Amino acid sequence: MLNNDTGKHKSVGEGQEGKTQKDEEQKVQSQWVQIVSQVMEKVVSGTNMSTTIEFDDLEVDIPKAKGPDGRDLGGATWKLNGKVVWITEAHRDQGSI
Amino acid sequence: MILFGRKHLHTSESDQIVNSLFKILSSVTSGSIKLEVANQPAMKIEINTNDQVEGNDNNRTVVRLDLLEPTFFSVPDDQTGLFDKLRTAAEFAQKLTDNGITFSLLRKGKEAITLGEEARPSLSRIITKSNDIQVNSIKESAKLKNDFDDA
C-alpha cells in the first residue's frame, strides 16, 4: 500500500503527485465552502422569514494599522449592542402566468 | 478506511475560512451573539477572554457555541461521517490550542464537545488521537451528529 505521508515513491511521477495533492487541497477547500455556504443560504435566503442577530456587549479589538500615506491609524475597541433584523418576503412576479 | 486515510476534511494552512475565523476570534474579547430565525432562538455564542497567563503570550479565550435549534444547521449533502468530523476537529483543535482558544460546542444548553486549550480528553483520545479534543457527552455528540444529518 502506498503511504503518501511517508513520501515513499516520491521520485516516481513527482510532478503528477504534486498536482494530485493540489487538486485534493482544492477539493477539500471547496467542501468547506460548500458546507458554510449551505448554512449561510438558509440564514440569508429563507423566504417569508425573519432573522435576528443580537449583539450583547460584544467587544472587538481593532488592531493598529497604517494608512495609505504611512500614517498611523491607531487601534480601537468597538462595543456592539443591539439587533440586526432582516425579513425576506416572496412576491409573485406580475409577468408570470 | 476513512478514519486513518487522507480523505477527511483537512484544515490546511491556506484554508481561508479557518484563517478568517481565527482572525475574528482573536479580535473579539467578550460578549455574546444570538441568532433567531422565525422568532425562534437558533444559536448563541458567548465569548470571554481571560488575562494573560505567565509564560504564555496569548490571552485565553473561551468561546461557547450553543446550538439551540441544531437541525437548522443540518447539511444533508455533507458526505463526511462522524469520524471524519472528529479528525477534522482534531486538526482544528490543535490550532485553537496554539492560539490559546477553547471552543465548547453545546446542544440545547448541554455541553457536547470541547476543543482546544482547556480540553481534557480521556477516552476520546483513543478515537481522535488528539489531546486537544474532549467529548463531554457521547449522548449529546451523537444527537448533534443526527441533527446535522437530518434533511
Return the minimum-mean-pLDDT range out of A30-44, A76-90, B122-136.
A30-44
pLDDT of residue B43: 93
- Residue A71 domain-assigned (yes or no): yes
Please name the member of B17, B28, B36 whose beta carbon is closest to the beta carbon of A58.
B28
ipTM summary value: 0.74
Residue B4 has pLDDT above 50, yes or no: no
Q: Calculate the dihedral angle through the C-alpha atoms of A35, A41, A44, A50, rounding to the nearest 10 degrees.
A: -100
Please name the member of B17, B28, B36 whose beta carbon is closest to the beta carbon of A33.
B17
- Residue A3 domain-assigned (yes or no): no
| Domain spans in chain B, listed from the N-terminal domain onward | 2-29+46-149
User: Integer distance in angstroms from the first to the last C-alpha of chain B?
Assistant: 26
Q: Which residues, listed in sequence order, are joined to residue B65 by a DSSP beta bridge?
A: B45, B105
Q: How far apart are CA B151 and CA A75, in angstroms?
A: 45
pTM: 0.72
Residue B68 has pLDDT above 90, yes or no: yes
pLDDT of residue B106: 94
pLDDT of residue A81: 96
In which residue are the cell numbers 484554508 written? B15
Residue B126 has pLDDT above 50, yes or no: yes
Residues of the domain holding A59: 47-90
Alpha-carbon distances, residue B90 vs B9, B10, B125, B133 (angstroms): 11, 10, 10, 6
What mean pLDDT value characterizes chain A? 71
User: Does A51 share its domain with A69?
Assistant: yes
Q: How many domains does chain A divide into?
A: 2
Q: Which residue has the higher pLDDT, A26 or B103?
A: B103
Q: Give the model's confidence band at B56: pLDDT under 50 very low, under 70 low, under 90 confident, else very high.
A: low
Neighbour-count burial of B64, counting CB atoms closer than 10 A to its CB (0-12 exposed, 13-18 middle, 19+ buried) = middle
pLDDT tens for A5-30 read 444 444 555 566 666 666 655 555 55
Return the minimum-mean-pLDDT range out of A23-37, B17-31, B82-96, B122-136.
A23-37
pLDDT of residue A86: 85
Q: How many helices (H) and strands (E) does chain A have?
A: 1, 2
User: Does A40 share its domain with A55?
Assistant: no
pLDDT tens for A50-97 read 889 999 999 998 888 888 888 888 888 999 999 999 888 777 777 655
pLDDT of residue A1: 39
Chain A residues 59-78 within an 8 A CB cutoff of chain B = 59-63, 77
- Residue A55 domain-assigned (yes or no): yes
User: Does A55 share its domain with A78?
Assistant: yes
User: Does A53 share its domain with A64?
Assistant: yes
- Residue A84 domain-assigned (yes or no): yes
Which residues in A lie closer than 8 A to residue B10 (C-beta atoms)?
25, 28
Which residues in B lie closer than 8 A to residue A47 (C-beta atoms)?
none
